[in-house]
Amino acid sequence: MERKAPRRTKERILEVSLGMFNSFGEPNVTTNAIADEMNISPGNLYYHYRSKDEIVTKIFGQFEREMDELFAMQKDRKANVEDAWFWLHLVFEKIWKYRFIYRDLNDLLSKNRVIETHFKSILQNAAKSAERMMQDLKDTGQLNASKGEIAAVAINVVLTATYWHSYSYVMNPRNLDEAKAMGQGVFQVMAMIAPYLTGDARLLFEKLAGEYR
The rounded mean pLDDT for the chain is 91
Per-residue pLDDT tens over the stretch 125-174: 999 999 999 999 999 999 999 999 999 999 999 999 999 988 988 888 77
> Coil, strand, or helix at residue 143?
strand
Which pLDDT belongs to residue 124?
A: 96
pLDDT band at 7 (very low <50, low <70, confident <90, very high): low
Q: What is the CATH number of domain 6-50?
A: 1.10.10.60
b/e per residue, 171-198, with b = 16+ CB within 10 A?
eeeeeeeeeebbebbbbbbbebbbebbe
53 near 76, Cβ under 8 Å? no
CA dist., res. 96 & res. 177, Å (int) = 11
pTM of the predicted structure, to 2 decimals: 0.90
Per-residue pLDDT tens over the stretch 51-64: 999 999 999 999 99
What size, in residues, is the chain? 213
Listed by start position, the domains of the chain span 6-50, 56-212
Which pLDDT belongs to residue 200?
A: 92
CATH 1.10.357.10 assigned to 56-212: yes
% of the chain at pLDDT higher than 90: 73
